[in-house]
Structure 1
Amino acid sequence: MQKYNSIPNIIFDFGGVILNINTDQAVKSFKEIGLSDTSLVKKEYQTNGLFDRLEKGMISADEFRTEIRTHINATVSDEQIDSAWNSMLLDLPYERLELLGKLKENHRLFLLSNTNIIHWEAYMGMIQKVHGTCLSDFFEKDYYSHNMGLRKPDPKIYTSLLEKEGLKASETLFVDDMRANIDAARLLGLQTHYLDLEKGESILDLF
């Protein structure tokens, strides 16, 4: 899809787009440490519940762990909770970092991620350990929901980034693997690409 090479600004989602993730793995891991209602993880993740508040920075990591404990039929440590929660974070293929490095030569690159402090610390450490680099080095600026107090697909999270960076929506491509996030961005005039992970699509296919 060489057509995207002419777009000067690109905003990438992170989980699913750059970093491989598997939310089902977190459900399995929480069950292993005693979570009685495993549907809670998916339900809370998809609604404005516990995970939404964590990803908006409305509660701290400790407050998150305390609330998770109310659903677990066992005594669990902070490390066990973090390990279960972080188990959804898989690998980051080096080829994707290579692509970002090349794109950065001719494009303004930005990251816009719905994430939280526990995941952020985990994958930043993993990327440094595995690839010996910092994720921030590949972007002009990286934006995270827990720092912004906003989550995609809230229109304000997109307009905030565009305004802060002086970007024209029509000259900016947004890449995400969630249709709701893509739809919200398109309504604001951004060019968009829905990355269809079920069809095995990768950002390596786009440029």
Structure 2
Amino acid sequence: MAIEAVVFDIGNVLIEWHPERFYDAEIGEDRRRALFAEVDLHGMNDRVDLGDDFQQTIYAKADEHPEWRDEIRLWHDRWIEMCAPAIDLSVQALRDLRAAGVPVFALSNFGIGSFAHAQTVYDFLHEFDRPYISGHMGVTKPDPEIYRRLEEDSGVAPEKLLFADDRADNIAMAQSRGWQTHHFDGPEAWVARLQAEGLLTKAPA
């Protein structure tokens, strides 16, 4: 089945996203492990991804845990350092696809405020033909509703979508809806897949 549009996850497909790595560098691995064991930081971030206010959500969590207040606030105050660096080969693939006339969508769990902040740093986040960002949609992957809404809004049949994501649960849901998928574990294999599908004729520079 010919591909009509390519769908990119953002975190760990276009931009590295490793909060633990950031905290290890800032407070050391032992303290980071203690922090993450005591405070559900990923659950906090899930609320942001669902559309809750970026700063208010994080600062409220910090106030709930005064012994970790400064460390938790880093999730907001230095968030862009956690969301880094860009995965250059993937970014170039996105741009080469668009140059070749292939529609490119984003389907990403991302907060409203955090996505707006990321757009000030990563210009390619303005370059999707259609961005489907969970914070604006009020639903996150792997809820089937976010996939259904992309299908409905784009008008592209599920079997004509090719979706790259680093999480197996997100990939499994897309597959269950008939999407073609690529479980992302590095940009080289992703580029090779795009070439194999005939969407890219040469490797990105």
Judge same fold: TM > 0.5, yes or no. Answer: yes
Q: Distance in 1 between matches of 2:5 and 2:124?
A: 21
CA RMSD of superposed structures (Å): 2.9
Q: Is the contact between residue 13 and residue 87 of structure 2 (CA under 8 Å) also seen in structure 1? A: no
Alignment-derived partner of residue 7 in structure 2: 11
Shift of 1:55: 0.7
2:55 matched residue in structure 1 = 61
What is the DSSP-based 3-state SS (H/G/I as helix, E as strand, rest coil) of the residue aligned with 2:16?
A: coil
Alignment partner of 1:88 is 2:86? no
Question: Identity rate of aligned residues, in percent?
Answer: 25
Which residue is 2:203 aligned to?
A: none
2:12 is the counterpart of 1:23: no
Corresponding residue of 1:204? 191
Q: Among residues 117, 120, 124, which one is paired with 1:122 in the alignment? A: 117
Match of 1:141 among 107, 113, 130: 130
Letter in 1 for 2:177: L
How much has 1:168 moved relative to structure 2?
A: 0.2
What is the TM-score normalised by the length of structure 2? 0.78
Q: Shift of the alpha carbon at 1:79?
A: 7.0
In 2, Cα distance between equivalents of 1:20 and 1:80: 17
Aligned position for 2:149: 160
With the length of structure 1 as denominator, give the TM-score of the two structures: 0.77
User: What is the CA distance between 1:153 and its match in structure 2?
Assistant: 0.3
Gapped regions of structure 2 (runs ≥ 5)? 195-205
- Residue 173 of structure 1 is aligned with which of 159, 162, 180? 162
Cα distance 1:76–1:155, how it changes in 2: closer, same or farther (>3 A)?
Answer: same
AA aligned to 2:20 is D
Gaps spanning 5+ residues in structure 1: where? Answer: 128-132
**CA-CA distance at 1:118 after TM superposition:** 4.4
CA 10–78 in structure 1, closer or farther in 2 if over 3 Å, else same: same
Distance 2:112 2:24 in 1: 21
| Higher relative helix content | 2
What amino acid is the match of 1:136? H
Contact 1:99 1:204 (8 Å CA) reproduced: yes
